[in-house]
Each structure stands twice: as structure tokens, then as C-alpha cells.
Structure 1
Amino acid sequence: MHAVEVTKSTRRPTNLSLDSALLKEAKNLGINVSRSAEAGIAEAVKRHKQEKWLEDNASALASSNAYVEANGLPLARHRQF
């Protein structure tokens, strides 16, 4: 899976409640907690959007799959493989 790119935009200070032991370990390892949290949130947003898109388009996908099952691929005769 590819890492999520965080775009440059206006940054805003935010308070988060994190497990103190995990936070201490991250700091000891030199991990930028803010950037790591941002990357994790960006990944969660991406995953949520993907799931929502699949949910919103489930009937269209099912219809397309049913068509292909019944009729085959529309341009299958032109396939080179």
C-alpha cells in the first residue's frame, strides 16, 4: 500500500489525547508525532472515502457485473490476450 501524501496547506494546532506510553516511545524514537498523526488521519479519510464510493456505487457496479456475466465483455473480440 502506498503512503498517503500530505499536501501543503494551512496547518492548525489541535489537541489530541494519546496513550502516554505510546507518545513517550514515539518521542524516544524521534518520531514526529504531529506528522504521523496527520498521515494516519489522511489514510483513514482516504479509506473512508473509498468505502463510501463503493457503497454509493454498489448498484452500478452490480449492474455492470451482471451485464458482463450475461453478455461477456463488450469489446472482448478486440483483446490481444
Structure 2
Amino acid sequence: MKTLAMSKKDKRGVNVYLTAKLVDEARALGINLSATLDQMLSDAIREKKREQWKAENKNGIQALNEFEQEMGLFTDDDEYGVI
């Protein structure tokens, strides 16, 4: 997540329904709900995009893995040596 503070225009108010007990506990512990939810949403988006990328590139990844199994790594070649 970016460490720069976002301006008010970069934020959007939304209605979120959370378990009352959890909200009370978070507030009692001084947890910033907005910042926490923003970070968790950012993490969830990043993970979902990673999963989508893997699904979209599954055939290419599989082909590269098969090539590596058959031919070995490029760095295994005597001309290039092993890194």
C-alpha cells in the first residue's frame, strides 16, 4: 500500500455493515477502521488480480514448465554456465 496520505478527494464514503461487537472491540483497542479496511481491501484486490493473472496465463506457464522439464534451464547450458 502507498505510504503517502490520500487527500479527501481520493476517498469515497461507503456504507459497510460490520459486527457491532467487533467494531466496539476495535475502537476500544484504538484500531483505525478506515485504514484497516482500506489495507485489507487492497490486499484482497492484489490477491484476486494475482489469481486472475495466473488463470489467464495458465497455458503459457504450463508450456514454460514443460519446456524447462524437457530442455533444462538456460543457465544449465555449458556455454552460459550455471549462475
- What is the TM-score with the length of structure 2 in the denominator? 0.84
Q: Distance in 2 between matches of 1:74 and 1:67?
A: 10
Percent identity among equivalent residues? 26
C-alpha distance in 1 between matches for 2:74 and 2:19: 54
Q: From the CA coordinates, give the structure whose radius of gyration is larger.
A: 2
Structure-1 separation of matches of 2:41 and 2:70 = 41
Q: Distance in 2 between matches of 1:65 and 1:38?
A: 36
Deviation at 1:79, TM superposition (A): 1.2
Q: Structure 2 residue aligned with 1:79, among 46, 68, 82?
A: 82
Runs of 4+ in 1 over 4 A off after TM superposition: none
Q: CA separation in 1, counterparts of 2:32 and 2:72?
A: 51
Q: Considering only aligned residues, what root-mean-square deviation do their CA atoms show, in Å?
A: 1.4
Superposition pairs of residues 16-55 of structure 1, within 5 angstroms: 16-55=16-55
TM-score relative to the length of structure 1: 0.86
Take 1:17 and 1:35, find their aligned partners in 2: how far apart are those partners?
Answer: 16
Paired residues, number: 76
- Structure 2's unaligned 5+ residue stretches are none
Query: What is the match of residue 13 of structure 2?
Result: 13
With a CA cutoff of 8 Å and minimum separation of 6, indicate the structure with the bigger relative contact order.
1
